[in-house]
Homo-oligomer: A and B are copies of this chain.
Amino acid sequence: MQVTGASLIAGDWVIADQAEAFFGFSPKLNKSLETPIYEASSDMLASAIEQAGLAFKTYRKTNYQQRATFLHAIADEIEALGDVLIETTHQETNLPIARLQGERGRTMNQLRAFAHALEGSQDSIANFGCADTAIPDRSPLPKPNTALDYLPLGVVGVFGASNFPYAFSTLGGDTAAALAAGCPVVMKSHTAHPATSELMARAMDKAINKCAMPKGVFSMIQAKRYDIAHELVGAPQVKAIGFTGSFSVAHKLLDTIAKRQEPIPFYGELGSINPQLILKEKVQEAGPTVADQLSQALLMGNGQFCTSPGLWLVPAASHEFVDQAIKNIQASASDTLLSPNIVASFKHSIAQLTSRDDVTLLAQGELSEQHHANAHLFATDIDTFTNDASLREEVFGPMAMMVTYDKESQLQRLVELLDGQLTASVHGTRQDLKKSAAVIEALEYKVGRIIENQMPTGVEVCPSMNHGGPYPSSTDVRSTSVGLNAMLRFLRPICRQRAN
């Protein structure tokens, strides 16, 4: 299956005349890949958006069963791509084969979960619909018959994420949720895995043909230049944006969105240090076990999960916990990160932290290759950490900061100052949890998911999941990117009223 470097524009694979080429990158070989990927032109994007607008008029009329069949077909076609998908992505990301197989399964499950929800739904797509019955003889005025339903917003722009090349990229959560809701998608592929995106778009192309869906219902744009991202979010026909990426890119896109006449939702997931609050009795009873769990969660995917535990709040003098954590980190193998930029940024942050007098480098893993990133565990005390906001910025990659505390009041003060987070875990005995109830209550207001005695990594895809959190972990705290409620991102209420 030859990768052509073309973009999929409403059913056509297009390469612009005299398009510039860019190239994927092999983190493992630390060099560019050889397959040229072609910059989509602004005209191609405009055509994709226009076709999506036209497709919306047909696609929004599909019934739930038709949409469910389509989502199942997409999942089927992802499966039909077979090993070449996994191999291609492995080459582009160096994520382990087993991890990629698991993520592919999750991505198919996401599509099927929306399909099942649609199949099980009768009245209102969001299952949030309700109705009030008319009271024609009510005085002084008759009460009408009203029913609340949900309509799709229109064309959705989706930006792929580098760290989840399947589950949050081309045919990932936002695309699945938008299509389930009845919205066409114009997708900007992530430049860290363009060949993967092309394969995924081919699967989509087949599913569209199989289900006779309008061609404009999905387009995939290959582009490295920033302009095209701004053209996508600024287009009047685009009615919502799903984005996973950096704080700085998100804010540039928000500036462009602010210049639109019509405000639109921007669902950005930006980053999180996912505080791990370890309480006193727990660390005494099970210090080494908790240290093992945290180390394993940190090292998973070499620290590149959005829920990677980057901040460990540990009672002072938790020697067994600390010793075990040091042992784990020292024993860890270095590995690649997703892109050379991410490696450079990680190393820069590590160098800065290492140079500080008020931060101690507790442990690091061996660096077996210069272009790898090795795990680092730093330590500081809670007052230093609380008083310096720069210490609370996310370092993307295998790094955690262990912050030691003495008193509940120190935790309370820190939690007040914490930025919004996707998740936080509290590790405590029943007695611990009771004693720290006030801190935990405050912590809830800083996170989208609060976890008792479990790791933040491994997001469960289920109806009651919430993935998203207060700013800056995400830009719209009202919404989740995981679980069935993700459909609500792309729906809006309508009331239908009649006399009786």
Residues of A at under 8 Å CB distance from B?
Answer: 57, 60-61, 128-132, 141, 143-144, 146-148, 151, 153-154, 254-255, 258, 261-263, 265-266, 441-442, 444-445, 447-454, 458, 460, 462-468, 470-472, 475-480, 485, 488, 491-499
Contact = CB atoms under 8 A, between A and B. Distances in A.
B263 A132 contact: no
Contact of A441 (B61, B468, B488, B495): B61
Contact of A454 (B144, B454, B460, B479): B144
Contacts of A463: 130, 132, 148
Given A146-B464, A478-B488, 8 more contacts: A61-B441, A129-B464, A132-B462, A151-B444, A261-B471, A263-B476, A265-B478, A454-B497
Given A132-B463, A451-B497, A263 B475 contact: yes
A182 B449 CA distance: 19
Given A263-B475, A454-B499, A132 B460 contact: yes
16 contacts: A60-B445, A61-B441, A146-B464, A148-B485, A263-B266, A263-B471, A265-B478, A448-B494, A449-B497, A450-B496, A451-B497, A451-B498, A464-B495, A466-B493, A470-B492, A478-B493
A290 to B, nearest CB: 13
Contacts of A467: 495
A498 B132 CA distance: 37
A263 B494 CA distance: 25
Contacts of A460: 132, 143-144, 146, 497
A270 to B, nearest CB: 11
Nearest to A485: B493
Contacts of A472: 262
A283 to B, nearest CB: 18
A477 B263 CA distance: 10
5 closest cross-chain pairs (CB), A and B: A258-B258, A466-B495, A452-B498, A148-B464, A449-B495
Nearest to A56: B445
Given A153-B477, A254-B263, A493-B485, A499 B462 contact: no
Contacts of A495: 448-450, 464-467
Contacts of A129: 464
A340 B463 CA distance: 53
Contact of A449 (B477, B494, B499): B494
A122 to B, nearest CB: 16
Given A258-B255, A478-B265, A131 B464 contact: yes
Contacts of A479: 493
Nearest to A472: B262
Nearest to A102: B140
Given A462-B146, A466-B493, A478-B492, A151 B263 contact: no
B453 A499 contact: yes
Contact of A492 (B128, B266, B477): B477
Given A262-B472, A460-B144, A492-B478, A445 B497 contact: no
Nearest to A442: B57
Contacts of A468: 493
Contacts of A492: 470, 477-478
Contacts of A258: 254-255, 258
A145 B406 CA distance: 31
A134 to B, nearest CB: 10
Contacts of A265: 476, 478
Contacts of A266: 263
A478 B478 CA distance: 11
Contacts of A450: 494-497
Contacts of A480: 493
B153 A466 contact: no
A454 B129 CA distance: 22
A132 B262 contact: no
Given A148-B464, A452-B499, A128 B128 contact: yes
Nearest to A141: B458
B147 A464 contact: yes
